Structures are given as structure tokens and as C-alpha cells.
A and B are shown apart, each in its own frame.
Chain A
């Protein structure tokens, strides 16, 4: 059945795994033996080569997929059986076997994902050769990066929820390892821990959702579950039921992984890691895992309208909040981080209004231009010798031409300038949030506000970094030069992608949306609400014009404040000092979390006599829960003792009583069995008397 490329589907995650094992294992062994690190060319070749092989296989499989009939575009392969046949009872009472295979599934959605992950991943690997060239832990970096690729590819290619979760956890782990790459920086280690712990909160909800899926539908296999959902729930749930719970729990997991409110706080801090890490993990791939997972489970989400509303609301609210914070950030990477959170919010808003294909499309375009932006900023940072504060930049256009021009393309893309990829994807989302049956005017309205803000802060970033007066010190300015070609080449490729990949998803009034069409078979099991009324192309064009004009306003304002009148911002700051302080302190969310969950014995925790929420929970666990468990154990012991006593005194006594009765009855006869004949004679006489008495009784 499978020919040529498709049978190598399972190798796609394996190549990076091999790269990790070779680089990591060999490197570790070498360091132990000789104290020297493996040669950088060797490490680079292995790492980039493995990802490139994965990319080639992905392209091959994608082409095979295109050859197939649209409705048949679903290939599932099982590599080996991990857990087999653990029978667990489902909520409907029947016994279901927990069969978990390490399997890969290729359909249009996962094809898009693997192309994005391996393609952009490969470019970032190449870029990292240049960026990390000064580092001692070169091999370690690439080993972790390859491990991350393996985990991410497992996630997107998984054919069941548990394998997806393995990848989910794995990318979280790699995120931790890579954020904390600079082991000498205390802040990096803290940020890594923060990322992992916050992620874990989401994972907890994800696990609960998975368990609920299993007990409700008796399987964790993706296609099986989605088909069963479609079969069991022909129409969406009218009230909050099991589907809504599953959807909500999975979404909380996605919130953690994809940095939405309230679990987004780790992403800005994750900028402590090396810039390629930020590009790959925290822009293009890992953070999109949540979006991918929700898109995958669209069968469930489309049938839980209340959760859809929550998803859209959370998404657009996050977009607004993150966008507003990005306006005032001074660190170039922070701006991009909040921008990422904001754009992810867009994607979730798209999913929430039922425009799943639009959300995935934006995921793809965003991967291109956000990766480009991060890599470009990395180029800037490296050129300025690890300077990240934009207040110390400026006028770098002349020094870093390639970086500057590629980043401009990306900025225009993210701002939604017509003709570039971001325009098409963002517009699709805005149009859908306006027109879809699940859409809402408010979502659209906030969406265009956010679009305007996005344009503004991105332009601000560009103007502050590349244009205007040079604010860096003289000796730094002396050493600024363009990055080597190994870093600029990926930038150029990504720029081409940012520009042209949008043409895959043209809006209705411009032509057919090839991307949406391609993804259609994936959403076979999704519930498509009937579309009442058909909005004409005119309204769509009007919406587009409105969003473009808002973007234009944003661009102009940025230009006004940061290029033309560079002193104006400071004046406005004076007027709105209060608001500005709040927003530039990120609305004090981190401080609030610190107080509530991390805190050191302050405030409310004094009451409980514990240091913080964690300690409180731990104390609760050991005293109340363990107490209850021990209590029930004690009760069991006591009842066992009682039962034992009953056994000894009642049951054993009964048994002994029977024996005693037997003994009693037989003792009469035992007396006769001695062989002493006088007793026989006695018995005779007794019998004689009995007979005589009988005659007496009967009456003579």
C-alpha cells in the first residue's frame, strides 16, 4: 500500500533523535575522556544534516500525499506497540482496552506541521552554526536542539493522544534545557524553571482531559476518538457536558504550552535562552503545539460551543493584553516575545470562532515571519555584542543591511501590509471572526485594535533599532558588522517565505483558498454549523479595508513618534505616567503570581503558617489527605480486627460447638465401647426397663 517515501514516514522524528544521540552521547563521552569538546563542524553537520534529512522525507511524504485522492489523505503507521490491552472501564460501563501504539499519522494538517517544523527548524539550525560559534557548549546546544526536533515531530505526527502528550512533555523538557542553556546566568536557570513549572500546570489539565477522553470514548487514538465523538454527538452539546469538560481541560493545557492568559508568564522570561532557541521554540514550533492540538481536536471543540467561546475570548484577550505590553518594552526580544503571545492569541481566536483552517494558516505564516524576526534580532544582538536594550541601538541600517531588509519584510508581514503573508492570514481571521456563525463582533473589533497595536509596536521596534540616531557607544559601533552568510542566508530564505507563502490562502474575493481546501479532509469529523445567510464579497472587502487602514494608522503613528519627532514619546509619557507604569510593569501579573503561588511567607500565607501555595498544598497533602488515607487504613485495620474477633469468638465457637455436640452424642456410645461387659449388662437392663415402661405407658 505504501510506496517509496511514505514508508519512511516514521523516520522523520528518528533522524533528529539520532542526531541527539550522536552529538550528545559522543560529546559527553569525549568530554569525559579528554576534556575536549567534539569538533564544531562535525557537530554542525550531524545536527543540521539530520534535520535536513527529516525535511527531505517530509517533502517527499507531502508530495506523495498530494498525489493521493483528497478524501484518502490519511495514512497511519504503527512503529511498535507501547502499551497493549490494559482494560479499563469507560463511563458507559463497557471495558475498553488501552492500546497505545507509537504510531505516526500523516494527513494534511500534520503534513503542514512537519513541513513548517522541519523546514524552519533546518534554517534555524543553520543559523545557529553561526550564532553559537563562540560557545563552548556547542555540541550540547545542538544535541538539545535535535532532541527538541524529535519531540516536536513526535507531537505532530502522533496518532494518539498519549504519544502527543509524550511529545508535549518532551518539548517542555527541551524548552527547559535550552532556556537554561547559559548555565552561568542565574536568571536563565530561573526562567527555565518558571517555564517548566507553568507548563506543568497546563499539563496537569491536559492529563485530566486525556483521562476523560478515554473514559468517555474508550480509546485514545485520534481518528477513533474523533469519529466516535462525531457519532455520539451529531449536534453540539446544548449544555455543559463531558465534551465541554474535555475541551476545557485540553484548552487549559494549550494555554500553558501556547502561552495564553493566565499561563503566558513564562514566555517573556524564556528570552533568557539563546536567540535561535527563542526563534525555534518560542515562535515557530513549540508554542504552536497548543494551536495544533486544539485544531486536531476540532471535532470535540466544534461540539462544545461554550468552550469555543472561552477559547476565542481568552485568545483575543491575550492578544490585546500582550499587545499592549509590547508597546512599551525596551528589550528587543521582549517585544518579540509579547508579539508572539499576541499572535498566538489571534490563532486561538480563530479556532474559537470556528475558523480552524485560518488559525492554522496564521500559524504557518507566523512561523515564517516570527522566526525571521527573532533570527534578525539575534543578528543585531550578536553584532552589538549581546546588547538587547533598544535604547542603546539605532541607525543600524547602514551596518546590517541584509538583516535590516529581511526584518522589514517580516515586519510588514506581521503588520498586515497587503500582499505579504501576514496580511492574508490575519485578514482571514478577522473576516471569519466577523462572519462565522460562532463569530462575534466584539472579537473582530478587538482584533482590529490589536492589529493596529501590532503594526505600531513592530514599527517602533524597527525604527528604534535600525533607524534614527545611533545611541550605542562608540567602541561598540566600531565593531558592528553584518553577520556571516551562514546566518544571513536563512534570513533571506525566511524572508522569501514570509512574503510569498501567504498566496496559498487567498481570500474568497481574490480566488480560492488553496490552503483551506487542502486542510478540508482533516475536519471531516468537525461539526460545521449551518451558515445562515451568505455575506457577500463586498462586506469582506470592506472589512479588509478597515483592518488595513488601522494597520496604516499604526504604522503612521510609529513613524510619527519614533522617526519624525523622537522627543514626543517622552512628553506623552509624562502625561500618562500612571498607565505607562502599569503597562510597562506588565500589569504586575508576575508580582501577583509571586504573591499567590511562589511567595515567601507573606500576606495570606501567614494565616496558614506556610511559606507559599506550594508548601500549603504539601502540608494539606500530608496532613489532610494522608491523614484521611491513614485514617481509612486504620479503619480497615480496626474492622479487620473486629472481623477477626468475630471469627475467633463466634465462628470458631460455632465450629467447636458442632464438634462438641458430636463428642457429646458419641460419648454416650463411647461408654459402651470399652469392652467392659458390665456396662453391656447395664444397657440390657435399661432396655428391659424401657420396654416394661412402654407397657406401663400404653396401659396394661
Chain B
């Protein structure tokens, strides 16, 4: 079962990722990205990180992608369509991408052979029979409280910044 779900979700992700990058219309590109992100959320669930899966859908898809779509709407689509879609260095970029992925895959394959999975005793151990959400919550509010608070400040700053930047007159 795992295998099937994995490959399906992986396939969806990769396909939609490629479509995102190659779509002509930015709106289409955004929609493809949404689909890809949903696939990612599915992968998270498969990896027994349900909380993160939910967060992914809520924040990423529901927040960020909506924001993207609003901005796309603000920008004149028609004018964008008239111009060339792909830059002059696409061949180089493609080759580089292939090379990069090839090298990284090579490293990974070599590296994970020496990995010992399910190694216990490193970091915070997940207890059996506990909900993922609860565990994450517990860790987030106990061990990583400071980063959590800083993240909230960061978001505040981001809000203020976005508002200021987007104003017509400062």
C-alpha cells in the first residue's frame, strides 16, 4: 500500500511541478503549483506527519497560493502573454538542472547506503501511541519556545512590511 501511494503522490508532484515551471499562463502555473502542494501534503501524511500535512494545506495552499493568485490578478496578464516566456539561457539551465540532480542523486544513493534508519536515541523520540499533533505541540511549546515566539514576531514584521510596500504612497 505504501508503495502505491508513494509512487502515485510522487508522480503527481513531479508532473505538476514540471507543469508549474513550464506553464505559459501564470494563473495556470499557480493552479498547477496548488496541485503540487496538495501532493506534498499527501506525502507528509504518508510520512506520519499529519499535523504538518494539515498545516501545509492551510498555510501554503490556503494562504500563500491565494496571495499569489491575487497578485497575478493585479498584474496585467495580457501584457505578460505577449512577451517571450522563456529566457535565452534555458538550454544551459536545463543542463545544469540535470547535472545538479544527477550529482545529488549520486550522493544520496551513496550516502544512504551507510545510513542506519530507525536509529533511536537521537533527538526527541516519538513515543508510540501518541498523536503527531500532540507531540509536535508539546515540542514546539517546550523546547522550541523561543524560535516559536521569534517566528511570530517575524510574521508581524512581514505583515507590516507587506502593507507598507504595497501602498501607493508611503
Residues of A within 8 A of B (CB): 678-679, 682, 685-686, 688-689, 692-693, 695-696, 700
Contact = CB atoms under 8 A, between A and B. Distances in A.
A306 to B, nearest CB: 96
A700 B110 CA distance: 9
Interface string B80-103: 000000010100110010011001
A678 B89 contact: yes
A251 B106 CA distance: 108
Given A700-B107, A700-B110, A700-B111, A679 B100 contact: no
Given A679-B89, A700-B111, A685 B100 contact: yes
Q: Identify the 5 closest CB pairs spanning chains A and B, nearest first.
A: A692-B103, A685-B96, A689-B100, A689-B99, A678-B87
B137 to A, nearest CB: 36
A593 B110 CA distance: 116
B155 interface: no
B157 interface: no
Contacts of A696: 103, 106-107
A693 B89 contact: no
Interface size, B (range):
10 to 19
A553 to B, nearest CB: 128
A688 B107 CA distance: 14
A695 B107 CA distance: 10
A140 to B, nearest CB: 102
B64 interface: no
Nearest to A671: B89
A282 B110 CA distance: 125
5 contacts: A686-B96, A692-B104, A695-B107, A696-B103, A700-B111
Given A678-B89, A700-B111, A693 B103 contact: yes
A648 B89 CA distance: 39
Contacts of B100: 685, 688-689, 692
Contact of A682 (B89, B99, B110): B89
Nearest to B97: A685
Given A688-B100, A700-B111, 15 more contacts: A678-B87, A679-B89, A682-B93, A682-B96, A689-B96, A689-B99, A689-B103, A692-B100, A692-B103, A692-B104, A693-B103, A696-B103, A696-B106, A696-B107, A700-B110
Contacts of B96: 682, 685-686, 689
Contacts of A693: 103
A698 to B, nearest CB: 12
A63 B119 CA distance: 141
A236 to B, nearest CB: 96
A72 to B, nearest CB: 105
Nearest to A676: B87
A699 to B, nearest CB: 11
A692 B111 CA distance: 14
Contacts of A682: 89, 92-93, 96
Nearest to A685: B96
Contacts of A689: 96, 99-100, 103
A673 to B, nearest CB: 15
A677 to B, nearest CB: 11
Nearest to A700: B110
Nearest to B99: A689
Nearest to A678: B87
Interface string B18-50: 000000000000000000000000000000000
Contacts of B110: 700
A692 B99 CA distance: 10
Contacts of B103: 689, 692-693, 696
Contacts of B99: 689
A679 B106 CA distance: 26
A688 B97 CA distance: 11
A678 B96 CA distance: 13
Nearest to B89: A682
A689 B92 CA distance: 13
Contacts of B111: 700
B113 to A, nearest CB: 11
A178 B87 CA distance: 106
Nearest to B87: A678
Nearest to A679: B89
Contacts of B104: 692
A682 B89 CA distance: 9
A386 to B, nearest CB: 116
B91 to A, nearest CB: 12
A16 B87 CA distance: 106
A467 to B, nearest CB: 131
A693 B107 CA distance: 10
B111 to A, nearest CB: 7
A700 B113 CA distance: 13
Contacts of A695: 107
A682 B99 CA distance: 13
A692 B110 CA distance: 14
Contacts of A685: 93, 96, 100
Contacts of B87: 678
A688 B96 CA distance: 10
Contacts of A692: 100, 103-104, 107
A700 to B, nearest CB: 6
A678 B86 CA distance: 12
Contacts of B93: 682, 685
Interface string B57-98: 000000000000000000000000000000101001100100
A695 B87 CA distance: 31
A533 B21 CA distance: 131
A693 B103 CA distance: 8
Contacts of B106: 696
A323 B11 CA distance: 140
B116 to A, nearest CB: 17
A668 to B, nearest CB: 14
Interface in B101-135: 103-104, 106-107, 110-111
B109 to A, nearest CB: 11
Nearest to B106: A696
A700 B112 CA distance: 12
A230 B110 CA distance: 105
Contacts of B107: 692, 695-696, 700
Nearest to B100: A689
B121 to A, nearest CB: 26
A688 B99 CA distance: 11
A679 B110 CA distance: 31
Most buried by B among A678, A689, A693: A689
A679 B88 CA distance: 10
Nearest to B103: A692
Contacts of A688: 100
Contacts of B92: 682
A689 B102 CA distance: 10
A145 to B, nearest CB: 105
B6 to A, nearest CB: 27
A682 B104 CA distance: 17
B84 to A, nearest CB: 13
A275 B89 CA distance: 113
A685 B99 CA distance: 10
B22 to A, nearest CB: 16
A482 B167 CA distance: 144
A679 B87 CA distance: 10
A700 B114 CA distance: 12
A64 B60 CA distance: 134
A696 B93 CA distance: 21
Nearest to B114: A700
